[in-house]
Structures are given as structure tokens and as C-alpha cells.
Structure 1
Amino acid sequence: MKTPHNTFKQAMADGRTQIGLWAALASPYSTELLAGVGYDWLLIDGEHAPNDVRSVLGQLQAVASAQLALGDARSHPVVRVPLGTGEAGTAIIKQYLDIGAQTLLVPMVDTPEQAAQVVAACRYAPAGVRGMGSALSRASRWQTHTQYVHEANEQVCVLVQAETVTAMAHLDAMAATPGVDGVFIGPADLSASMGYPGNAAHPEVQAVIEQGIARILKAGKAPGILATSEAQARKWLAAGARFVAVGADTMLLASGARELLGKYKTDPAAAAPADRSY
């Protein structure tokens, strides 16, 4: 059997926009539900959500079950690891790849050297330093994909996050790093790094993001972002962002619950929080 083709990576290489949703509830049940809704990709969050390798595995299996039911209509799982550089980051990346993740989003990458470390961690030798353990791994279907170690490098999609002033200073070189498929701009952390914590809508932050999207496109790579309002999502799509998360499951659940409660009682505690315009 041939190693599964990474449809998300192919779509971005073709310049096709991919609309996604953040999955932060850390539940295979909710992730399976979302995988059948029609989003192009789901972000399974291992950085800020209460996920670990085992819970991410359960969600990858849940997405796979949606594939059995829906075929290509299911979402592609993108896994955000908790860290990606240094020895610990390399070990964590290896685990997430071995359980079957093909697309990784790596937070807090500030330099092209760090981006290159992430790429190396995602590649088998001689192209990288990923440990050889396919006989034990779900990624190869326990060697049912007989050419996995020869085909895996081409099917792994590497997305790095630029979310600090330092990262934006190195953005051109980071985006140009061989093996980096896309660069995700993190508005919340970037706004804090720029001195505007909790205010990603600040004009200076918005300008840096817009310039960043243009710089990533100029390098021939795919820009990505999370937007929690329709206005922001449409703004970044118009600017050229190629993979855009347009919401989060936690926020959808909270807003839906508040809306339903509001039909039956008026309670200040049920009011929606202010939009942070991520």
C-alpha cells in the first residue's frame, strides 16, 4: 500500500485556499463531529488545549473514521505540537509523526535556523534527523505502507508560527527555508510582543500582519492565520492568506450556549465576551 497523499499540502502548493477550524476541546467525539462538517482542515491543538500524544491519537483516529464515512469530504487534521525546536522538540515531533500526523504546526519559531531544525525533525535521514521507528508506528500502518520510510518525507507538511517581533524581523528568511510549506502568523502573541497585549486589532499589529502575509507570499509559501471574527477572516483572505481558521470549537460552544440561554432569561453573566479580533 502507498503512503497516503497529503491533500492539504497539495492544495496549498496549488494555491487553493483552505478554510479551517480550531479544535481545542480535546475530545475525539467532538473532533469526529467537526471532521464531517466540511472544513478543509481542523487544528488539533497540543499547545494551548489539554492534549497530549494519546489524546491527539484518539482525535486522529476520529478524523479517520469520518473519512471512512465521508471519503474526501472529511477535514484534514493539522496537529499543533507544544514545541518544536531543540532536543525536546525533535522528540515530540517524532512522536506526533509516528502516530500518523502528516501536517504539523509548530509554535514560537523565531529564526530561519529554528525553522530548519523543525524541518530536519520532520525528515528521515539523510534529509533530516527523524528517528526510524516505522515498524512500531501507526503512520506506516505498522509497515503495511511498505515504502513509508521512502515516501514519508514528501508527504509531511511543515507549518511554522511567526508570532513575535523577532520572528517578523526574520520572516523572509524563515519563509524561504527549504522544507517549510507555510508560515502561520499568531495575532495574539504577536500583539503582546509588540506591546499591545490582548489588542490584535491595534492598527500597528494589523499592518504588520498584512505586510507579513505579503512577505510570505513573495517567498512562494502559504500564509496562514486564525481569525475569530468574519470581518478579520475576510480581510486576511482578501490579503492572500491561504489557510485560515475562521473559529474555534470552544468559542462556538460558548456562543451557542449563551445564545440559547438568552432566549429564555436575561443575565449579564450570559453576555458574550468582547471580540479580540484575532
Structure 2
Amino acid sequence: MPAPENRFKSALLRGERLIGCWAGFADPYATEVLASAGFDWLVIDGEHAPNDLRSISAQLAVLAGRQSLPVVRLPMGEAWAIKQVLDVGAQSLIIPMVESADQARALVRATRYPPEGIRGSGAALARASEFSRIKDYIPTANAQICLIVQVESMAGIDALGDILAVEGVDGVFIGPSDLAVDMGYVGDSHAAEVQEVIRGALAQIAASPKAAGILALDHATAQRYADCGAQFLAVGIDVVMLAQAARATVARWRDAW
């Protein structure tokens, strides 16, 4: 029995457009609620949300078999951290702040078993192999890993062509907020200069065999990014959605009384 199909990776390879959302509560119950909305993919965020290995593992468990496909974002690209989240069942990863082809190649190697990579072989006690039920997990796992590298600095933009040429990178996710900061527009990813760089990057990725991804919280911006070639779009953040709905509810009642 081989490793299970990575449906997120397969959909990207088919050229499907996928709508996603950030899962930032670091809680399986909240992520299960989010999955009931019918998003194509959900980011279990370990960079800016208070997730650790156990909370990531718990959220992967509640998403198993659902329409909403999990993508784990780690705070860094350390091989030991990648190994751990792959063993608890992640098949799709986003790694932030990638700025060179060498860095991308190192990430590919961290996600693959030898001889293609350096992933440690301990799947016998891991959820990834269904605790040794999947007998052929190790020889078949590499093909089902989806690696998305996040480019969010001008150094990464300048190296984008080289990054796109790295075998084993499945997609590039543009990070508008950090890119804006790096360009000197702190807190303003809608600045004309930043938007020009984003549009160019999305078009460059879309013209390659890789998939282009990005986050946009308003419909008009998301549509512009889609028109520029974004294939997998994150269009919401659960924490922000709750905060906005709660504030709007309070405001309505304050104004009414």
C-alpha cells in the first residue's frame, strides 16, 4: 500500500483554482468549524499563530478525509521541524522567507527520504504511515509531498527565476505584508510600487510549471491577484473574521441603544 494521494498537490498539478483560509486559533475545534465552510484548503499557521507540534497534529486529525485540505506553515525551514510535521501527517508545507535557490533546494531535501533528501526514517511510529499500516510508505512518500516556498522580500523576488527552477518546489506563495515592509512601505501592501512587484511575481510564477499563491482579505484585491495568475488564494483569516463579526455586532447594538 503506497502513501495516500496528496489531493492538494494533485489539484495544483491539474491547474485547479483553490480558495483557502488561514486557521490561526491553534485549536482543533475551531479548525473543524472552519472546515465546515467548504474551503478547498486551510493553512495551519505555525509562524504567526500560537501553534506547536501537538496543536498542529490535532488539527491534522480533524481535517482527515474532509474537503478542506491542510497546509502547514512552519515558522522556519529547519529539517528537524519539517521531519516532525511530516511524521504527524502533513503532506503540504509552506516555508516562509525563502530568498535563494540554495535555500529552496535545502528545503526540498528536508522533505524527502534518501537518496533524494535527508528526511529521517522513523515512520513506523508515525501517523504518516498510519502507524505502520502503510507498508510502502517510505518508498512512496516523496512523490506525495507538496512544498510551497514563501517569497516575501526583494531578495526573494530577485531570485524568483532561480527558485522556480528548483525541482521539488511545487509552488511559490507571495507574502504581501513582509514584502511591503522590505520595500519600505510598512503596513501598506497596497502601495502602488508593492502591487507592481506582486503582479509581476504572480505572472512570472504562473508562466512557470509552478503554482502561484497569495493571501488577500478583500474581494477586489483577491480578484486582481487571480487575474494576475494566482492559482491558490487564501481569502480569509479565521481570527480576523471572528474579531470583525464580534466588533460589528457590538457596534450595531451600541448604535441602537
TM-score bracket, shorter-length normalisation: over 0.9
| Structure 1 residue 49 displacement after superposition | 0.3
2-structure distance, mates of 1:21, 1:41? 7
Deviation sequence 1:241-278 (CA, Å, 0-9, x none) = 011000100111011111211221049xxxxxxxxxxx
Is residue 221 from structure 1 mapped to residue 214 from structure 2 by the alignment? no
Look up the match of 2:42. 42
Look up the match of 2:98. 109
SS at match of 1:190: helix
Look up the match of 1:80. 73
| Structure 1 residue 176 displacement after superposition | 1.5
SS at match of 2:82: helix
Task: Output aligned runs, 1:1-278, within 5 Å.
Answer: 1-64=1-64, 67=65, 74-84=67-77, 89-266=78-255
1:172/1:219 contact within 8 Å kept: no
2-structure distance, mates of 1:212, 1:183? 9
1:163/1:186 contact within 8 Å kept: yes
| Structure 1 residue 219 displacement after superposition | 2.1
2-structure distance, mates of 1:27, 1:266? 33
Moved over 4 A (4+): none
| Structure 1 residue 36 displacement after superposition | 2.1
1-structure distance, mates of 2:207, 2:25? 35
SS at match of 2:133: coil
SS at match of 1:263: helix
1-structure distance, mates of 2:164, 2:19? 21
TM-score, with length taken from structure 1? 0.90
* Gap regions ≥5 residues in structure 2: none
| Structure 1 residue 2 displacement after superposition | 3.5
1:163/1:190 contact within 8 Å kept: yes
Q: Percent identity?
A: 48
The range that moved more, 214-223 or 167-176, is 214-223
Q: Which amino acid aligns with 2:190?
A: A
Deviation sequence 1:107-131 (CA, Å, 0-9, x none) = 0110000000000000000000100
Task: Tell me how large the CA RMSD over aligned residues is.
Answer: 1.1
TM-score, with length taken from structure 2? 0.97
SS at match of 2:60: helix
2-structure distance, mates of 1:133, 1:164? 35
Q: Which amino acid aligns with 2:140?
A: E
2-structure distance, mates of 1:260, 1:117? 47
Q: Which amino acid aligns with 2:210?
A: K
